[in-house]
Copies of this chain bind each other. A is one copy, B any other.
Amino acid sequence: MRIALDAMGTNEAPRSEVAGAIQALQELGGDLEIVLVGDEALIRAELANHPVIPKGLHIRHAPDRVTSADPPASVIRRKPDSSIVVGLRMHKEGDVDAFVSAGSTGAVMASSLFTLRPLPGVDRPPVGTMLPTAGELCLLLDAGANIGCKPHHLVQFAHLGSVYARDAMGRENPRIGLLNIGEEPGKGDELTIAAYDLLSVEPGINFVGNVEGRDIVTGDCDVIVCDGFIGNVLLKFYESVAGYIIGLLRHELDAVEDRKVDLEHVFRVLDYAEYGGAPLLGLGGISIICHGASPPKAIRNALAVAARAVGSEFVKHSAEDLQS
C-alpha cells in the first residue's frame, strides 16, 4: 500500500510531514509505503535531521506550492506542478492508493473533486470531521464542503457515512442521526423535515432519528448528517469552546494549587490532532485533509486513517453501496 503525503502543507512544512511520515512507517508497519510530494531539496534537508530513515519512504519532486492566496478552484489549472495537484494525479493514475494533505482546505477539496471525481450516485461529495464525545468519536457530515444541501444530499451523506464508519471507524451497524432542532419527526427547517422523511424509509442505513445540539456529545450516534453551513460553524465552535473552557479551568487550577494539575489527558481527548484529519467521502479515491497547524502526530494519525480506509476497501464499498 502506498500513500502520497503532501510535504508542503503545514505551516512549518516539511518538518511535520517528514516527522509524521517517519512515525507512521515505524509504528504502522505492514506493507505501508509513503511518498513525500514536494520540494525535493527541502524534503532532503529535513530528512537529514533524522538519524534513521525507515524503509518505504520515497520522494516525488513537485516544485510548486499552493498558498492560501491561490483561489481554490484555480489550483488545478494554474499550479499543475504543486504538491497537491501532483499527489492527487499520482493517486488518480494508480501510483498511490490515497492522498493526505495539510494544505489549503479549499484547494485540496476542489482539486480532489476535480481529479478523483465523485462516485456514481454522489452529487456533492462531503467532508467529514471527527467530534470527541462522551462515547466514541462521531463523524459529522458535511463539515463545510456543501452549503445549501437538498434532502437527497443528506441521504447520500448517510450512506457514505455508514460505509466510512464501518470501514474506517470499525462500527458494526453505524447509527445515523440527523442534526435538527427537535427530537420529533416534523420538527426542523425545510431541509431537515424533508430529509427526515427520506431517511426514515431509506434501506441500507440505520437511521436513529433527529439529533439536537445537546445530543451531539452524548456519543449516541456514529454519524451525524447536516448541511455544510451548520457543520462548519459547529466544528469551529467546538474547537474553540474546548480551548476556552480549558483555559477557564487552567486559570482556576493555577490559582488554587501549588503545582499545576496535569490536563494532558483532557487535552488529548479534545485534541483534533488525535483524530487523523477530515476525510473527503464519495470520491473515486481517498483524500484526507489535515489542519495547517498539524504536529507530526496529526500527520501520522491521518496516514493511519488513510491506510485503514485503503485496507478496508472503503472506496469500493462506497461504490457498491451507492449502486445497490
Contacts and interface: CB of A to CB of B under 8 A. Distances in A.
B229 A181 contact: yes
A147 interface: yes
Interface string A118-147: 000000000000000110000000001001
Interface in A251-291: 252-253, 256-257, 261-263, 265-266, 269-270
A240 B228 CA distance: 21
A240 B217 contact: yes
Contacts of A216: 237, 240-241
A230 interface: yes
Residue of A217, A239, A262 contacting most chain B CB atoms (<10 Å): A217
A66 to B, nearest CB: 18
A interface majority secondary structure: helix
A15 to B, nearest CB: 25
Contacts of A189: 147-148, 227, 229
A231 to B, nearest CB: 9
A233 interface: yes
A45 interface: no
Contacts of A148: 189-190
Given A148-B189, A252-B265, A233 B246 contact: no
B252 A263 contact: yes
Contacts of A244: 133-134, 217
A270 B242 CA distance: 12
A181 B188 CA distance: 21
Contacts of A261: 252-253, 256-257, 261
Contact of A229 (B188, B247, B249): B188
A3 to B, nearest CB: 29
Interface string A91-122: 00000000000000000000000000000000
Contacts of A232: 181, 213
Interface string A174-217: 00000111000000111010000000000000000000111111
Contacts of A52: none
A249 to B, nearest CB: 5
Interface string A2-34: 000000000000000000000000000000000
A241 B238 contact: yes
A218 B244 CA distance: 8
Contacts of A230: 229-230, 233
A270 B246 CA distance: 12
Contact of A234 (B188, B213, B266): B213
Nearest to A255: B265
B245 A245 contact: yes
A50 interface: no
B249 A249 contact: yes
Contacts of A77: none
20 contacts: A134-B247, A144-B181, A147-B188, A179-B233, A180-B233, A213-B234, A213-B236, A213-B239, A214-B239, A216-B240, A217-B240, A217-B244, A230-B230, A234-B237, A237-B238, A241-B241, A241-B245, A245-B245, A245-B270, A246-B249
